[in-house]
Structure 1
């Protein structure tokens, strides 16, 4: 379902480019022939020069006919198709009920946007010439179990299995946590550790969903009963904790200190963002308080949503060996995309039905949350400050707040903010060489902006 909506969004984003393609394609065809003739005419020595070959490849890419990427999933379909299975092996609990609850959200039709971003970015990074990826070392061989003391591979434990998993040959019970399966070797330009990174990111995100649904007392998620409704609060919380625990083990086995630090802080950021959301932000009704609340909202949004996207993008760039400017651009891309994603989500809470959204709509005001639409309306209607401070708890507060948002064009201004972050995200991708995966990242960004669920 999400793939279909993604295709519709990306098709709408590219439809405007199809009217004048006839002349452009003819011109590009002539240029392509010229590039091909140039390649055939140069000396053999020049053809073997790596820099020359890279320049020729880039020139040829520039004159290829425009072929919009209608489905970014297709670029990394192999990796995405095994995502849930691989996460299942990472969890590996011998307790059937714990396995069932922990895997509950993975078995529904989720967006899987975060692992998709990591995989597409990893593939786009592979288009950078190897000699320009010299920041540290690329983790190519650090993937399979090398059977060296203390575990040298990504799937090897650092401590004895008898300690980690309670393995005891004298008992009949299976260990509660099995050792992790080995990863395949590099494929499709994506390094094995980058594939594992995508899986870890989805585990952390899903753990946060289980916990959030308990905190918010949500009734549904992804068009099905939420984890707390299906299994109860206690099991939902424990399953989320288990996901974070197993994700932490997988993070440690990546054996890259910078990546471990990045991913570990995202877990802390999720908790910090949730605490900020629970706290009341409006202290008075002045314009200064409004600005402070908006800054608070953006920072909370970064912690709850954009932190995981931005730091996982940075981690993918670190693992690729890319240089500092590319690593920083990858982080900024994820940060801007994450902010855009959540701001669109906050807007959809006002405009989409429960059925289309896959979870309760109109929930933010009922939960006492002041998001961008109502914060923009507050600038024009100061009385909203009092409603925000009391978390829309008085009779009629929610309905009045919605009316103020409509009168103040709060949704239109929120959409403009989301567009700004989407454009900033796409601008960060300019450091990457042309490739299908780069095009897919751009179209995915536009799809995030134009999504309806």
Structure 2
């Protein structure tokens, strides 16, 4: 079903799918990687809480998301709004990043002025930026619903997964419903560049999931394949949405690229920590089962790094993990290796690249802009030191 939607959207947008390692954004990222700061310089006096800066806006976004799931059929409305209910709506990390990014790029904002025409334009832009956050959340949740169906998952965010609660058929329809609501909202922006970016992100989600499902043993044991799949599944949506924020506010191509770089590297760093927590976290802290990836035969960075130290681990991967003894053997190799530490270092590297992108934005004298940028930098540390 998701592959079908990907093809439909591709025809609408006319976009040809590109590999991460062939796309212009990735080539530009290599330039930033060369010139970026080697570490993040945190000053305790400059700590800014990312969530508090946009808490009111996130509340508005959450309310609109609940309204967006209203449907003619009550069962469909209930299923589509399952993860938007108060208490189970998640951390809204995507919304937080995007709303902060919008503020961080408000480069020409005057500190004190009153212009009726300018004020009206600013309100319209602000609403469009909030709509990008809503669209991104709908695509994100729809992809989680579909992923849980494919993985036959039983839990998500500490509660029953939607497929487990209502069955696969209604869960599929609920995910599809959210995607079409997102597409309708996207069309209302009447911005072809933004539409292309979000369609690309959605297609990448489908591509990444397909890569994971169809990978050969050699591909599963390849760090390059893992990085590309991880970008598609985790980082493409936030990076393209960050860039969409820049395009909506008529930023230069250079600023748009920096926004893309922040989202891409933050998304990658986030996933690397997720991969660690799958081995080190508990089911209670994760809101889903621990060791879920390896039980499904999904090979992530910690195991890939462990395999570099213990090549014999590849033979265990080839045998598969239907046998719990093979899981136990793989874990023994992992704990003897530096796999967890090297994955942490990889997450830190990309967190630093994300922070460097924010530090490279054009200067601004606005205190609000400065606070938003500092919050985005602080977020790179928060997400890479989390325990759940």
Same fold (TM over 0.5): yes
Shift of 1:359: 1.0
Displacement, 1:360?
Answer: 1.0
Alignment of 1:116 onto 2:92: no
Measured at CA, do residues 129 and 141 of structure 1 come closer, stay the same or move farther in structure 2, by a change above 3 Å?
closer
Q: Where do 1:158-237 residues align within 5 Å?
A: 186=123, 191-237=126-172
Higher relative contact order (CA 8 A, sep 6+): 2
Task: Name the one with the larger helix percent.
Answer: 2
Q: Give the structure 2 partner of residue 159 of structure 1.
A: none
- Could you tell me which of 342, 346, 365 is aligned with 1:417? 346
Q: How does 1:258-297 map to 2 (within 5 A)?
A: 258-283=193-218, 290=221, 293-297=222-226
Whole-Å Cα distance in 1 between the matches of residues 178 and 155 of structure 2? 20
Once residues 283 and 15 of structure 1 are traced to their aligned partners in structure 2, the CA distance between those partners, rounded to angstroms, is: 39
Partner Cα separation in structure 2 for residue 422 and residue 121 of structure 1: 16
Q: What is aligned with 1:373?
A: 302
Q: Helix, strand or coil for the counterpart of 2:215?
A: coil
State the alpha-carbon separation in 1 of the partners of residues 74 and 191 from structure 2: 32
Deviation above 4 Å: which 4+ runs of structure 1? 14-18, 139-142
The alignment yields a C-alpha RMSD, in angstroms, of 2.3
Tell me the distance in 1 between the aligned counterparts of 2:379 and 2:104: 13
Aligned residue for 1:68? Answer: 47
Are residues 219 and 411 of structure 1, via their aligned partners in 2, closer, same or farther at CA, if it must alter by over 3 Å? Answer: same
Contact 1:280/1:389 (8 A) holds in 2: no
Give 3-state SS (helix, strand or coil) of 2:314's partner.
helix
Identify if the C-alpha distance between structure 1 residues 199 and 381 changes in structure 2 by more than 3 Å, giving closer, same or farther. same
Aligned to 1:101: 79
Secondary structure in 2 matching 1:283: helix
Provide closer, same or farther for how the CA distance between residues 385 and 141 of structure 1 changes in structure 2, counting only shifts above 3 A: farther
**TM-score, length basis structure 2:** 0.82
Counterpart selection for 1:125 from 105, 109, 120: 105
Q: Deviations over 1:287-310 (max 9, x none)?
A: xx95xx100000000000100010
Shift, 1:346, TM fit: 0.6
Q: 2:65 aligns with which of 73, 87, 92?
A: 87
CA contact (8 A) 1:367 1:391 kept: no
Distance 2:155 2:276 in 1: 19
Contact kept? 1:121, 1:441, Cα under 8 Å: yes
Q: Residue 367 of structure 2 aligns with which residue? A: none
Q: What number of residue pairs does the alignment pair up?
A: 335
TM-score normalised per structure 1: 0.70
In 2 relative to 1, CA 395–89 (structure 1 residues): closer, same or farther, beyond 3 Å? closer
Using the alignment, how far apart are the partners of 1:446 and 1:103 within structure 2?
Answer: 31
Displacement of 1:204 in angstroms is 0.3
TM superposition shift of 1:450: 0.7
Alignment check: 8 A CA contact 2:155 2:288 kept: yes
* Distance in 2 separating the partners of 1:196 and 1:16: 32
CA–CA distance in 2 between the matches of 1:359 and 1:250?
A: 31
CA shift, 1:67, in A, is 4.0
Identify if the C-alpha distance between structure 1 residues 431 and 16 changes in structure 2 by more than 3 Å, giving closer, same or farther.
closer
Measure, in 2, the Cα distance between the counterparts of 1:15 and 1:335: 20
Find the structure with the greater CA-based Rg: 1
Where does the alignment leave 5 or more consecutive residues of structure 2 unmatched? Answer: 1-39, 111-117, 365-369
State the Cα deviation string for residues 86-131 of structure 1 (Å, max 9, x = none). Answer: 113333312211111111111114021111100000011113458x
> CA, structure 1 residues 325+348, in 2 after alignment: closer, same or farther (shift >3 Å)?
same
- SS of the equivalent of 1:75 reads helix
Q: Which sections of structure 1, spanning at least 5 residues, go unmatched?
A: 1-13, 19-65, 131-138, 143-184
Indicate the residue corresponding to 1:302 in structure 2.
231
Note if contact 2:46-2:374 (Cα within 8 Å) is conserved in structure 1: no
3-state secondary structure, aligned to 1:196: helix
The one of 319, 331, 339 equivalent to 2:260 is: 331
Q: Whole-Å Cα distance in 2 between the matches of residues 83 and 375 of structure 1?
A: 38
Structure 2 SS opposite 1:321: coil
Quote the residue 1:446 is aligned against: 381
